[in-house]
């Protein structure tokens, strides 16, 4: 994995040493020698991660980190503070400023590289979500997700630990702000994660009853555990386990003896990141739904139907089963808009869409084709069955007036329907559309309020 790393330190020798080590590991390195230069370089070079010294003249590393995390454009960029400060209070101050990790010099090279790779992998997943969200914004489908600066976050936390005294300590430290539960066996941990909506999992890698690393691997393989952050607890100096944990996708770690304030800070950081990622995923899902859905009626839109019809036709040709295409048009709909207004016209369209949805099967594809035209694509369906469904819908529309919000309170409308079915393996979607449209044209010319099937 390659990545662009911004190294920030006011001492030239420190910068050059880190630059040499990172370059050897095939990272691209950008350097800065002050807080302000670091902020400028972030805007210019778009780094994947920042290695930041704390003790710098002018603007110190804490303030630089706070500014990075306060900027919606850079808040997702991981920041690792690499400093000579070694007190628990210093680590907590760094984490409170928004740092993703706080490493004390001299830093073990293997541990540093493992942490950089781990954070970069996590950032790349966030970058993909951010890119998809940006596409949704450019299409005017949604607003951007919030940043990582939520001041108060709480969540459901699962502690996996087989020492009762440790469970009690972690629970006592977290239960005031979070919903905390605990398990002490491998099997129970998997059952809980499969069935629970957890926001964070804390795993002790030094458990006596089973291999904590294997458990982390199993949790990551579960669909329910794939996006849940994992915070592992390791013994101080156990570089091998920590490195392996980071390589398999663990999000963060604590070393024993655990400082309570550091625990609270790291938990808060991971919950903020999960909230942000969840919002991104929700926005991406929303943009996908909005891109394929007609906003007025809730049915699929023409763009989705046009693309999906090709797949349905291919499937029909392979299976040798028929596919029916039904196109419907509300008769004299222009007069509804002219006489009652477009808002009443919209009410009629919404009600018509509801009746279509109520009369078709789950496997059928119902779409608003445009204006007052609607389409239903019916897989595994011959013309006779499609005609029966269409006739039932036509009668329902004719005999049951549509309720509207203004006088006269109800409107009686009718619809015309054209039907065509797939004929040959080389038939294209546009051919099927054309034949159905011709059948609809004959229904209109024949007096409207009728169903006509393509005779070809």
Task: Give the DSSP per-residue string, 220-257.
Answer: HHSTTTTTS-EEEEEETT-HHHHHHHHHTT--EEEEES
pTM attached to this predicted model: 0.67
- Segment 343-366 shows an average pLDDT of 92
Verify that 178 and 255 share a domain, yes or no.
yes
423 assigned to some structural domain:
yes
Q: Residue 107: pLDDT above 90?
A: no
DSSP type of residue 70: H
**Residue 222: per-residue pLDDT:** 93
pLDDT, average across residues 100-104: 90
> Do 413 and 278 belong to one domain?
no
Are both 320 and 265 inside the same structural domain?
Answer: no
What is the gyration radius of the CA atoms in the chain, in angstroms? 30
**Residues marked as catalytic:** 372
Q: Which of 52, 58, 68 is nearest to 14 (CA)?
A: 52
Does 146 have pLDDT greater than 70?
no
**Residues 6+ away with beta carbon under 8 Å from 77:** 42, 47, 48, 49, 50, 68, 123
Distance CA 32, CA 43 (A): 12
* Domain harbouring 208, CATH code: 3.40.50.2300
Q: Is a pLDDT exceeding 60 seen at residue 314?
A: yes
| Two structure tokens written together for 430 | 């546009």
State whether 424 and 348 are in the same domain: yes
pLDDT given at position 125: 79
Q: Do 95 and 3 lie in a common domain?
A: yes
Is residue 311 located within the same domain as residue 442?
A: yes
pLDDT of 444 > 60? The answer is: yes
Q: Are residues 314 and 431 in the same domain?
A: yes
Domain membership of residue 276 (yes or no) is yes
Residue ending a domain, among 107, 122, 154, is 107
Assigned domain for 74 exists: yes
Considering the domain architecture, whether residues 173 and 280 belong to the same structural domain is answered as yes
Write out the residue range of the structural domain in which residue 193 sits.
Answer: 137-287
Confidence of residue 88 (pLDDT cuts 50, 70, 90): confident
Average pLDDT, the chain: 89
Is the pLDDT at 295 greater than 90, yes or no?
A: no
């Amino acid at each position: 994995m390659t990545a662009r790393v911004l190294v920030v330190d006011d001492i030239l020798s420190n910068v050059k040493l880190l630059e040499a080590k990172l370059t050897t590991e095939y990272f691209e390195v950008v350097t800065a020698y002050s807080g302000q230069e670091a902020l400028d370089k972030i805007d210019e070079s778009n780094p994947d991660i920042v290695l930041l010294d704390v003790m710098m003249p002018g603007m110190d590393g804490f303030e630089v980190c706070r500014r990075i995390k306060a900027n919606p454009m850079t808040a997702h960029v991981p920041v690792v503070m690499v400093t000579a400060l070694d007190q628990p209070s210093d680590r907590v101050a760094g984490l409170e400023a928004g740092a993703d990790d706080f490493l004390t010099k001299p830093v073990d090279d293997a541990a540093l590289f493992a942490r950089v790779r781990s954070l970069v992998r996590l950032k790349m997943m966030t970058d993909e979500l951010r890119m998809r969200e940006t596409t949704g914004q450019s299409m005017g489908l949604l607003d951007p997700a919030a940043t990582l600066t939520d001041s108060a976050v709480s969540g459901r936390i699962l502690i996996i630990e087989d020492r009762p005294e440790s469970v009690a300590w972690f629970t006592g430290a977290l239960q005031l702000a979070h919903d905390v539960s605990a398990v002490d066996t491998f099997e129970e941990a998997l059952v809980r994660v499969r069935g629970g909506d957890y926001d964070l999992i804390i795993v002790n890698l030094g458990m006596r009853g089973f291999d904590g690393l294997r458990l982390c691997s199993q949790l990551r393989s579960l669909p329910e555990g794939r996006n849940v952050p994992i915070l592992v607890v390791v013994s101080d100096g156990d570089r091998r386990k920590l490195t392996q944990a980071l390589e398999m996708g663990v999000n963060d770690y604590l070393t024993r003896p655990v400082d309570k304030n550091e625990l609270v800070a790291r938990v808060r950081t991971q919950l903020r990141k999960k909230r942000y990622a969840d919002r991104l995923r929700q926005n991406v899902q929303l943009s996908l739904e909005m891109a394929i859905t007609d906003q007025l009626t809730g049915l699929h839109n023409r763009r989705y139907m046009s693309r999906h019809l090709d797949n349905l036709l291919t499937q029909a040709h392979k299976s040798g089963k028929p596919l029916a295409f039904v196109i419907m048009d509300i008769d004299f709909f222009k007069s509804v808009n002219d006489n009652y207004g477009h808002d009443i016209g919209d009410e009629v369209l919404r009600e018509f869409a509801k009746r279509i949805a109520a009369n078709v099967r789950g496997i059928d594809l119902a779409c608003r084709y445009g204006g007052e035209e609607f389409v239903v694509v019916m897989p595994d369906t011959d013309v006779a069955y499609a005609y029966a469904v269409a006739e039932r819908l036509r009668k329902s529309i004719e005999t049951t007036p549509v309720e509207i919000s203004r006088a006269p309170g109800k409107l009686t409308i009718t619809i015309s329907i054209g039907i065509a079915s797939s004929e040959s393996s080389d038939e294209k979607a546009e051919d099927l559309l054309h034949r159905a449209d011709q059948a609809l044209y004959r229904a209109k010319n024949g007096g409207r309020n009728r169903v006509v099937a393509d005779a070809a």
